[in-house]
Chains A and B, each alone.
Chain A
Amino acid sequence: MSGERGQSALRLGRHDFGPERLLVMAIVNRTPDSFFRPGDTWDERAAIGRVHEAIAGGADIIDVGGVPAAPGPDVDPAEEIRRTAGFIAAVRDAYPDAVISVDTWRHEVAREACAAGADLINDSWGGWDHDLAAVAAEFGAGLVCSHAGGLRPRTRPFRASYADVVADVLAHTGKLAARAVEVGVDPARIVLDPAHDFGKNTWHSIEITRRLAELTATGWPVLVSVSNKDFIGETLNLPLPDRVAGTLATTAVCAWLGARIFRAHHVLQTRQTLDMVSAIRGDAPPARAVRALA
């Protein structure tokens, strides 16, 4: 697997990341009602505290979101901008070199976020807003092209079915990536995300994990966002606070199959999991190896 080097370059912010680099994208939600630890980083000071902690824990990317994925009270673009743009500017001030992404599907929000310093537009909703890619092009930012099964943002899948879910993911994300290139997004800044749980039941999310190599074989860098999600909860029959082991197991499998960016709540554990996979792949040496060597 470590021989899979048909991978293209990945450029985020001012950094170039080779295919051997496994990147942790730390989730920092500027929301009162996200599914995991709701309201935890709603307060701006708590949020910047989370950023410090994430960077110290080995995060490569800070992903700032202002709207939960689940249905709930409406958050209009103005409010989403209010929640994210100023905060992104604050993170940029504190960490001039960090890669910052904005978790949004809306082009209006993406524009303000990029103006404030975001390097990557993380759209989990499958390109619902057709004007999003143009914003990435305009600012020289990156774009995550995801598969949400055609769902309208902030809706839940209802009896989703696919003749072949992986084929659907490949077709949709491939089309979004091609369109992004067409409107001028730097190809080295385009990332694919199969979007676990989005427009999918648990079996579908497991299938896209099992067959992730089909997505990484496209050569586009692949992001996976699996942290604490429902498919892990359903697979292990565990509530939200108990999904860390399932999250890390899934993370390891995805890394082995060639994913390069890992969106995570538990930064330190994710970093350790990925460092272990890197060592097993032969991409990085052990931190300290003296056992039976003395």
Chain B
Amino acid sequence: MNTLDASKADFTRKAFSNIGKLVTIIIVTIVDVVLAWFAFKLFSLSYIPIGICIILIIAMISIAFLVPKAHMFKWMALGLSAWLLFSIFPIIYTIYNAFTNYGDGHLISQAQAIEQIQAQTYLPETGKAYQWIAYRSESKEYLLWLKDAEGNTKLVTQVDVEGDAEIPLVTGENGIGEIDADGAPVTIDGYTRLNRILASTDKNLTNIKFGDPEKTIQVRSPSEAAELQPLYAYDAEANTFTNQLTGIVYTDKEGTWTSRSGETIIPGYSAVIGIKNFVTFVNSPGLRGPLVTIVIWNFMFATLSLLLTFSVGLLISIIYGDPKFKGKKLLRSLLLIPYTIPSLITILIWRGMFNPQFGVINRVLVSLLNIAPNWTTNAWLARTALLIVNTWLGYPYWMLVTSGALQSIPHDIYEAAQIDGATGWQQFKSITLPLLLVSVGPLMISSFIFNFNNFNLIYAFINGGPPIPTATTQAGYTDIIISYVYNLAFASGRGIQYGYASAISLVLFLLIAVMSLLQFKFTNMWEEVGENV
């Protein structure tokens, strides 16, 4: 009986597993088809890189679910897809941008730029011409009747007014009245036919584009209207534009079509310019000058923040770690409060408190000492304020971490030290601190990295200010690299410089990567991967 049951169960199990496999195949196929459609759409909009990303994801999902040997990748297929799209791809894209001039004037692709330049037109002084008569409505909308040299007539509407480009010239339709000997409507309902004098005094008329947007027609003179001609002729082989009016040839120089005398056509496109961004950042004093200040302050800020938060936190856990100390629990809860509020909110509160005119800090200082330090316009005061706020934000973390770490230091070491006559300070210096540093060292590195990139604080508290006067881009005395980069990419008014910003990002990333590797070495994380549990 038992064996029969077992084999029955085995059979059901196998059947289920086969159905399961079939269902898997069906679901994976559906997902793949949907993604393939998505990728196709992306490609057709010429979003090539992200399309390739989707193709990679399709491949990964198919392999993970359909190849039995790759079964472990099933577990991570979704996570890795999200990771690929929103962690890896942005980094690759940033690295790529670092070597381009992507930014103001170079925001579009080459194909788009060519298309836009080709759309620029001019009104030729000679060439195919039409006789014309204009009709004007009450609301200043115009219709234009045209007759070419062969005697063909048509009635066209304004390009910028919605609706058909051309209205058929049939009496009785669309309000068109009698047609005169020339073939022009005598009347159109709602419109006044303009005679020569009226037409020549109408200032709008010569600026209006009529007809098919592809073949725009404009009034050239009282007697003639003409089709607009493309201003630039593109030579695809040489990749040059020739101005049809002046005959000047513009050649492609790193994404900008430039004439020999240095004139350029707008827009340019985003082109690979090699290491130029990096060279600029070394050579240009307006950019390099502030960057030196910013890098020095960045390291100072991260180091001082770490030292201050760590010392205050450690001090608290040493003094109040004593189990005999009454009210320890209440104290800890109160001291933890800064940590329980989203940091952006507290940063904004501190910003109000540090307001030089109205803030509570200066009001207290004025009434006590009669001084009102200007926390926002003096570089060192602003930096001091930032460090105070950051200490407030960060000490609870170190209070928690060090109080845990201190408890794990065995008591007998201290007892032995006391017998040897070591003072409290000696004990702290030669027992507590070294042992503590071993256990919390890695956390110190990650805290350093965190503060090194503490964008939220710098940005929300003071937005990098006060400004550095010699800087050619937006840069301030409290800016750290990451906030400087952000402003380069996004600050309004001074021009967007994605390429340059990406180049600095790349340098910053290398800095961070070195620090992280250091941290991994300390934490033995590398070894942990290797262990063969």
A and B assemble together: no
A-contacting residues of B (Cβ < 8 Å)? none
B-contacting residues of A (Cβ < 8 Å)? none
